[in-house]
Structures are given as C-alpha cells and as structure tokens.
Amino acid sequence: MIYNKLAETMTRREMGELQLERLKKIVRYAYNKVEFYRKKFDEIGLKPSDIKTLKDIQRIPFTVKSDLRDNYPYGLSAVSMDKVVRIHASSGTSGKPTVVVYTKNDLDMWSECIARLVVAAGCSEKDVVQICFGYGLFTGGFGLHYGLERLGAAVIPASSGNSERQLMLMKDFGATALVSTPSYALYLGELAEKLGYAKSDFKLKTGLFGSEASTPEIMKQIEDKLGLKATNNYGLSEIIGPGVSGDCLFDTGMHINEDHFYPEIIDENTGEILTDGFGELVLTTLTKEGMPILRYRTKDITRLFYEPCACGRTTVRMDRIKGRSDDMLKIRGVNIFPSQIESVLMGMPEIGGQYEIIVKRENFMDILEVLVELKDASLLENYKDLDALRAKIRHNLKTVLQIDTVVKLVEPLSLKRYEGKAKRVTDLRS
Ligand code: DLL
C-alpha cells in the first residue's frame, strides 16, 4: 500500500521539477521573512533570484544547530505568533533547547508525512498502535500520534515510562504496532520474557522504531523477542521531528519525503557535495511555513540511493544512520562509530541486548572499554567459558575496529535501560 501515490511514485523528473519550484519559493520566503537568512544572503551577495536550478542550492550557506540556539527562542520563525499553533523543542546536551514552531499547514504536512511512512512500514487503519514516546516538547509522541490518527489507526497514547504497565496495555488492548526507540523495544522484549509473558500473548506485527541509531542486528533481536517486523524511521526536530523518512517492507533504506525535505550528502570536512557514498546529510525544508530551514547540517552520516525500489515508490532512500559526525570516537588515531561495536556484539548469540562503551585515557593512552551484558547468567559460573567468550568478543571487535579493546562481561539485566534515546558512550577523556 502507498499512502499518497501521486507524491510517492512520481517520476524523478517530475520530482525534480516540483522540488525546484518549491525551493525557489521557500528561498524567497525565508529571505523576505527571516532576518537571519536575509543577512546571510546579503553578506555573500546572493539573491533569491540567483536560485535557478536545483544545483544552485549549493550557493546557499549552511544552517547549523548553533544558529537555532543563537536565535533562541523564536529568531528563525517566519510567522507571527497568531499563526503558530504548536511549539516543540529539542533538549540539547548543554544549555538552551532548540525551539521549533509549527503553523496549521505545517502540522497538516507533518501528519501526511507520518501517515506515508507508517503505511510504507505496513500499517493501516486496522492497526492498534501503542506509542511509547514521551508526549511533550519532544517531537516523537505527538508527531507519530497525529500521523497515525490521520491514517485512521487506533492510537494508544501510552507515552513513556512504567514498562510493566506498557506490557499489560500491549497485551490487553491488543496492540498490533509499537512505536518507540529500538533500545526501549528491546528492553520491553527482555522484560516481557522476565515477567513470563509468551510471544503469543501479544498481537504485535509491526515495530516503528526511530529517534536513535540502530543496527540490523539489534532490529533482529527485537523481532525475535517481540515477534514483529522491525522498521526504522528517521527525523529531527529542527526539520520537523519524525517523518523525514522511513523504511518500506523491502529493507532497501528509508524513503525520504523529498517533496517536503530536500536531501544532500556532503563531505563533513570540506562541505563539498558528494554524489556517491557516505557523508553528512543536509536537509532543506521545501514547504515549511513556521520555521523554514535552508541546508541544515544534521551531522548524521548516511548515503542516498536513487535506484527504483521494488515497493513502487520512486522517492530517494537514505541508508540507516551510520553514526553522527560528533559521535565518532577517535581512539589512538582510529575513527570508530559506536554502531560498528553494536553490529559485532549483537551478532553474537551469547550476548544480551545491552552494552556500554567507555573511553578513558591512562598514561597518555586511549583505552576503549566495552561493557557487555550476557544473555545467560549461568555462564558466570564457569570461568573458562567466560574467559573464552571475552577473548572471542575482543577478537571480533579487533577484526572490525582494528584496535584492541578491554571487554568486561556483566550480568544479564545489570546495565542501565532507557525509556527514550539510549546513552551508550561515555567519553572520560575530556
Ligand atoms: O528524535 C525525532 C524522531 C522521533 C525521529 C521519533 C524518529 C522517531 P531529535 O530529538 O531532534 O528528533 O533527534 C534527532 O536523532 O539527528 C539523529 O541523530 C537521531 N535519529 C533520529 N532518528 C534516527 C534513526 C527525533 N532512525 C536526531 N536512526 C537525529 C538513527 C536517528 N538516528
């Protein structure tokens, strides 16, 4: 099923024409309504009328997270408050949050984008969907909620927290789809096992997971535990929230709603556009009224696929996020993404779903320590087996990372669980 055939199956040429028309319009709009953009354009002598082709987008300066923070709270807004109907914010790691405002039309477009991605993931109006994202300033809860309602699904706005109750609701209300972060879904799966639920107690068919990085291996673990098909969807508050892109059932990358969000991949060091391979995703909102964003550097590392997909959608797809350029760990000169570690660990049957990465410096030397939760506590009773497993993990990690690690095995269910985005890395070097 395709939610909006017209938008999701147009030819590449039609899409290009639509994007150009919208790009010209949004650039003019941003220039006229937002002083921040006007100043940036004027500084380099760029006029909205200079944008004549899609390629001309390269002439527009990038927007970065600190631009939103520097203009806190409403500096990048293009409309007066009487046109604003919703305000969300993303909590940064430090200081003030970044604020995003939505007009009625923005909320309408947002719901449409979510409806498209949940249908692509296999949901319909027949589904009963439990949303375990927080309802609040975070965009996850409300974003998914209104899109699913638009589709006509039955929404259970469970919000985050109280995991035992989540499982009870899931069973009693007959939830067929689950919305959460992948790490929380995995935790719910573990907890269900611990509390003695059988997979057949639940009617789950589809997992709509997003808001944090995941690997195919962790998705597989969730599928095994909860008996559903795990799908990935991506987005960020600055651009809209969830709804930028999502998986179809062919597992070929996440289809981008590119009639609303124009993607580019750049070299994260030089800013140059890459036509092939991995780089930093840059997004431009093509239709957003409340807070148009031109060429936003997401810091998320991915690549784009333009070939047709077997599902019939013609929209460009993005690969799962390999990591964030600011998550990348430089250890003894080697670049490492936490997702590489996760792939190795989750591919090993003896290991449970949780791990933590700690980076330290001892005697001027970087140490990469990996805390790994065992699946089965009985292993702890046999020192020889434990030692052999530790050596195997070290070896497998070294094959992928090229550096040595310190592996610590810990008891099942002993590492911290998160209801939202999991925090896997602690870097103690700075
Ligand atoms: O996490 C929006 C969202 C909510 C997306 C629910 C999907 C589902 P922020 O809190 O602003 O917004 O965080 C955005 O989260 O730049 C990525 O680094 C990361 N992220 C989001 N989705 C994925 C994903 C929401 N599917 C930041 N895979 C983004 C990997 C993701 N990383």
How remote is the CA of residue 419 from the centroid of ligand 1, in Å?
Answer: 14
Element (H, E) at 361: strand 351-362
Alpha-helical (H) ranges within 313-382 are: 338-346
Q: Whose CA is closest to atom 14 on ligand 1?
A: 236
Nearest residue to 184 (alpha-carbon basis) of 170, 196, 173: 170
Ligand 1 atom closest to 232 (CA): 26
Residue 26 C-beta-side C-alpha neighbours within 13 Å: 25
Residue burial 393-419, b: 16+ Cβ < 10 Å; e: rest: beebbeeebeeebebebbebbebebeb
* Count of residues making up the chain: 430
Cα 339 from Cα 357, distance rounded (Å): 11
* Residues 30, 109: Cα–Cα separation, whole Å: 18
Per-residue pLDDT 10s for the chain (430 aa) are 999 999 999 999 999 999 999 999 999 999 999 999 999 999 999 999 999 999 999 999 999 999 999 999 999 999 999 999 999 998 765 578 899 999 999 999 999 999 999 999 999 999 999 999 999 999 999 999 999 999 999 999 999 989 999 999 999 999 999 999 999 999 999 999 999 999 999 999 999 999 999 999 999 999 999 999 999 999 999 999 999 999 999 999 999 999 999 999 999 999 999 999 999 999 999 999 999 999 999 999 999 999 999 999 999 999 999 999 888 898 988 889 999 999 999 999 999 889 999 999 998 889 999 999 999 888 888 899 999 999 999 999 999 998 999 999 999 999 999 988 999 999 999 7
CA dist., res. 219 & res. 284, Å (int): 29
Nearest CA to ligand 1 atom 27: 236
From the alpha carbon of 233, which atom of ligand 1 is closest? Answer: 26
Q: Which helix (H) or strand (E) holds 128?
A: strand 128-131
Ligand 1 atom closest to the Cα of residue 241 is: 2
Are 301 and 322 in contact by the 8 Å Cβ rule? The answer is: yes
Q: At what angle do helices 338-346 and 383-401 cross, to 10 degrees?
A: 140
pLDDT for the residue numbered 92: 62
Pocket-forming residues, ligand 1, beta carbon under 6 Å: 90, 133, 139-140, 210-213, 232-237, 241-242, 298, 300, 321, 324
How far apart are alpha carbons 348 and 280 in whole angstroms?
A: 30
Residues 6 or more apart whose CB falls under 8 angstroms from that of 386 comprise 379, 380, 409
Instruction: Return the residue whose CA atom lies nearest to atom 29 of ligand 1.
Output: 236
DSSP, res 270: T
Helix (H) or strand (E) holding 410: strand 406-410
In the numeric block, the tokens 């805390």 are attached to 371
Ramachandran angles phi, psi of 8, nearest 5°? -95, -5
Q: Whose CA is nearest to atom 22 of ligand 1?
A: 211
What local confidence, expressed as pLDDT, does residue 236 receive? 97
CA of 139 to the centre of ligand 1 (A): 9
Q: Which two tokens stand for residue 265?
A: 């991949």
What pLDDT, on the 0 to 100 scale, is given for residue 94?
57
Residue for token pair 């990372």 = 401
What is the 307 CA–ligand 1 centroid distance (Å)? 25
**Cβ-Cβ contacts under 8 Å for 383 (sequence gap 6 or more):** none
Q: What 3-state class would DSSP assign to 429?
A: coil
pLDDT at 109: 98
The number of beta carbons lying within 10 Å of the beta carbon of residue 179 is 32
Tokens coding 367:
């140490």
- Residue 220 Cα to ligand 1 middle (Å): 20
pTM given for the model? 0.93
Among the listed residues 248, 237, 348, the one whose alpha carbon sits nearest the alpha carbon of residue 288: 237
DSSP 421: S
Query: What pLDDT is recorded for position 54?
Result: 98
First to last CA, the chain: 50
Q: How far is the CA of 300 from the centre of ligand 1 (A)?
A: 9
Domains annotated for the chain, with CATH where assigned, are: 1-323 (3.40.50.12780), 329-427 (3.30.300.30)
DSSP calls for 283-332: EEESS-SSS---SEEEEEEE-EE-S--TTS--S-EEPPP-EETTT-EEET
> What residue ranges in 195-303 does DSSP mark as E strands?
206-210, 229-236, 241-247, 254-256, 261-266, 279-285, 296-302
What's the CA-to-centroid distance between 140 and ligand 1, angstroms?
A: 9
CA 424 to chain centre: 15
Rounded to 10 deg, the angle between the 216-226 and 182-194 helix axes is 30
For β-strands 206-210 and 177-180, DSSP reports them as parallel
Distance CA 100, CA 285 (A): 13
How many whole angstroms separate alpha carbon 123 and alpha carbon 131? 14
CA angle (361 as vertex; 356, 362 as ends), nearest 5: 115
- Residues 337, 321: Cα–Cα separation, whole Å: 11
Tell me, in angstroms, the distance from the centre of ligand 1 to residue 278's CA.
Answer: 18
Give the Å distance between the CA of 247 and the centre of ligand 1. Answer: 14
